[in-house]
Amino acid sequence: MQASKVFKALSDPLRLRIMHLLAVREDLCVCELTATLEMPQSSISRHLAMLRHLQLVETYRDGRWIHYCLSSLSNSPLIDLLPLLRNLSHCEPTLALDLTRLAQVPPAACRSPELTSPRPGISSEPAFDTATQDE
């Protein structure tokens, strides 16, 4: 994959917000992204489709829910960008607000206990401490 395509994809503010949330949380379904980003499902799905086409995100099915996560390809340019994506909320107020909203999103049906993730190591809990986000 060409680096220019990756950076072009990340130049869109909504796609950058999605990628940031996936870098922090590891996996999310569209309903969680819709609630967090306060955007229509159709817009989020369209941007996810583009990110998936570029192999920046991948999906897995958990029951009837489709979850999105960052690409696990070993040659993905995301490997080097992951630390940057995770730390962007320190310099971008919109991304910090997204993390606060994500922490406030009530558990969705896609996170019900009877569903089990087929991807080992994926946690449904945020990989951040909301108390440190105010710094």
Please compute Rg for the chain using Cα positions.
Answer: 14
pLDDT 10s digits, 50-75: 999 988 999 988 888 889 999 886 66
Q: Is the pLDDT of residue 127 over 70?
A: no
Model confidence band, residue 5 (pLDDT cutoffs 50, 70, 90): confident
pLDDT 10s digits, 20-50: 999 998 889 999 999 999 999 999 999 999 9
Question: Domains along the chain?
Answer: 3-103 (1.10.10.10)
| pLDDT for residue 81 | 82
| pLDDT for residue 114 | 54
d(CA 77, CA 116): 29
| pLDDT for residue 3 | 80
Q: Is the pLDDT of residue 86 over 50?
A: yes
CB 118 within 8 A of CB 60: yes
pLDDT 10s digits, 103-119: 998 876 676 555 444 45
Longest dimension (CA), the chain: 42
pTM of the model: 0.79
CB 20 within 8 A of CB 96: no
